[in-house]
Chains A and B, each alone.
Chain A
Amino acid sequence: MLSLIVFLPIIAGLVILAVPSSQKQIIRIVSLLAALAQGVLAVLIWRGYDPALPGITAGPGGSPLGSFQFVEKVPWISLNLGGFGSLNIEYFLGVDGISITMVILTALVSAIGVLSSWTIQKQVKGYFILYNLLASAMMGCFVALDFFLFYVFWEVMLLPMYFLIGIWGGPNREYAAIKFFLYTLFGSVFMLLVMIGLYFSVIDPVTGNHTFSLVAMASQENYIKDAILGPDNVMWRYIAFIVLFIGFAIKVPMFPFHTWLPDAHVEAPTPISVILAGVLLKLGTYGMIRINFPLFPEVFHASMYVIGIFGAINIIYGAFCALAQQDLKKMVAYSSISHMGYVLLGLAAGNSEGMVGALYQMFNHGTITAMLFLLVGVIYDRAHTRQIDKFGGLASYMPVYAALVTVAWFASLGLPGLSGFISEALVFVGAFSSETTRPIAIVSVLGIVFGAAYLLWSLQRMFLGKRKADAAYDLEIGADGHEHIHFHDWKGKLDLDGRELAMLVPLVLITIFLGIYPMPVLGMLTSSINKLVQVLSPVVMSQM
């Protein structure tokens, strides 16, 4: 099941490899089918998922199957290392509350990404091969429970992304692509060392061998006391934690490692921005939750405050930067920096409310930001510019578009009734309830206002009022005597066309539904999160 959902896109990619590159439509359809199939599988997994089982650590008797679901565990590589026993790597997939939401999100976003890739005309074949490779890798990261496997998927993501930005990107794409690549690689190479270190510090209780299994690593009693990352080796545990954290923080992206994001977004084509903001950023925080925190709980406790502060900086700093942007897409990019700050804050809280909020925020940010970037893409396709002050009064001329933008914008500024609000609220509730992060929470609340400020301001400048003199489109009086506008060299429908609606409407519906009744997602999270919080709580650690 999970293998299927992971490797479907790659299979599609191979199929496309066989298709002659002239058959663009076939290629598109193949990838769309793959994405849809992925979606179906995701739904099946969702239906079959039992929210009662917590996951996170091994279940009763150290058997991962006890608490993880859809587990697939086959030995992959077993090397004889002479004097050092053997190096065992497993092909180990499974989902728990933390990952299943992300799996669903990934399926959703990559399907929508395919739809919005329809407009790509240049080297369609290569594009979709890389795209599918990327989709597989992302999905793999979320379901991998073997650190080695996770790392492989993690690194495999980089190259397709590099080319997708670098070949199909905007004018300044080379810079953005290489910047993205180097940043993220820099983050992940240290992960390699930590991974090896962990391997030699952890014993699988069942087999008695060293293991890469994250499940075994997540329970502290499996650590060899005096091993390099064993409980006794405090200094190295701290270093390892920090190194890992930075690795993930770069993906999040956390201030001050965020500077790759605006460049990457501005240059990347719309679907890639959607993937990037919708899924890739989540990998950073997911990595923290899955690997960074449960493996080093005591260090996490020591560093909650710092993480919280960085979260707050992200929230407010991102909001301010967004306020100053002229380029709409850059503004949205900064807004997602700001919103990922909420995730960090929620995680820093370390209590159930905060963590649930953080994960829910990850999901919502995925859907909402996808919407935002799609909408930006819509106007960019028409006007070939994203300068906010090149528009004005669009609401009169593109009512449907304006309506959707309003919904998306308000979702992004956390309006009650839309999903973003609940997650932010939970994050604040959690952050405030925890003694450690209370002052940080108080400061971060300012983010609510500034978030509203830049969103409403851009909304006003683009959609309200009247057409500006130097706008990117012309006014003309239609036959019915009403004013119309038309963009230069834009042949398509002025307002949203069917394909665009097909991408946007599902997201809007999800946003509204989850804003009114969040339990479908939260229900899957809670037990896992409570377990996680328990694992992280100092009480549990002290008794170990």
Chain B
Amino acid sequence: MEQLTTIGLNHYLTISAILLSLGLFAVMTRKNAIVVLMGVELILNAANINFLAFSKYNGGMEGVMFALFVIVIAAAEAAIALAIVINIFKIFKSVDVSSIDSMKE
């Protein structure tokens, strides 16, 4: 009972795990490139939650810093990704990831 009421580390971890799975799910199933990228963001954020939770419970600032950097990286990644996706759209006239498979065996 007490487990449920008082928020403990496990709750954070569970949440992040769920986020991770959701992210992966999105990446694997969504057709739209943008959504796929959002899935990637979810994965990164799952990591962030972990970092923050751990640094809260272990003490020390490393986790927080890590999380900050991850956020920044995610932003940069998004920028590049969008550029590429736009380019893709220019060429293929679609952003359907699953339809872009001209190179294969």
Answer whether A and B touch in the complex at a CB cut-off of 8 Å.
Answer: no
Q: Could you tell me which B residues sit within 8 Å of A by CB distance?
A: none
Q: Could you tell me which A residues sit within 8 Å of B by CB distance?
A: none
